[in-house]
């Protein structure tokens, strides 16, 4: 009985890395598909769909580069706070980003926009 239990434990320990590797491969495949669908949606001007696809890709990978795509879509949709947060996350995750200067400039522009007071609504006649 003890031998059977030990054998089962060894088998489980041997198979666990294989199942984890398979799950990781499946997640990577799904993330890649979501990212590519996001790119296609963005190019087609379907920004809400692109955002959903990019967010799914990020959920699966936590890859900072995907945050850049998320930020770009939020920026395009005029979701300034969300764009700012995603751009900051991108630079935090990629301190050596080759486009760092451009992203920092966009962050500054968004911060300036967000610091402006909201215009007062016009009074009703």
User: Mind giving me the DSSP string for 28-55?
Assistant: HHHHHHHHHHHHHHHHTT-HHHHHHHHH
Residue 103 has pLDDT above 50, yes or no: yes
Q: Of 64, 59, 61, which is closest to residue 85 (Cα–Cα)?
A: 64
Least confident stretch, 23-27, 72-76, 88-92? 23-27
Q: What is the mean pLDDT of the chain?
A: 84
Structure confidence at residue 49 as a pLDDT band (50, 70, 90): very high
Q: Which residue has the tokens 């007071």?
A: 117
Which domains, ranges and CATH numbers included, belong to the chain? 25-115 (1.25.40.10)
Judged by DSSP in three states, 3 sits in helix
Task: Count Cα neighbours of 88 within 13 Å in the Cβ-side half-sphere.
Answer: 11
State residue 109's pLDDT score: 97
- Model-level pTM? 0.75
The answer to whether residue 69 scores a pLDDT higher than 60 is yes
């Amino acid at each position: 009985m003890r031998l059977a239990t030990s054998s089962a434990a060894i088998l489980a320990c041997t198979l666990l890395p294989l199942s984890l590797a398979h799950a990781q491969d499946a997640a990577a495949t799904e993330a890649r598909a979501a990212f590519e669908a996001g790119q296609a949606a963005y190019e087609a001007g379907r920004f809400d769909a692109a955002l959903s696809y990019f967010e799914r890709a990020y959920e699966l990978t936590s890859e900072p580069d995907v945050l850049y795509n998320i930020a770009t879509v939020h920026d395009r949709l005029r979701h300034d706070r969300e764009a700012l947060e995603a751009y900051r996350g991108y630079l935090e995750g990629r301190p050596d980003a080759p486009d760092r200067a451009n992203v920092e400039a966009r962050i500054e522009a968004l911060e300036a926009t967000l610091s402006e007071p909201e215009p007062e609504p016009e009074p009703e006649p």
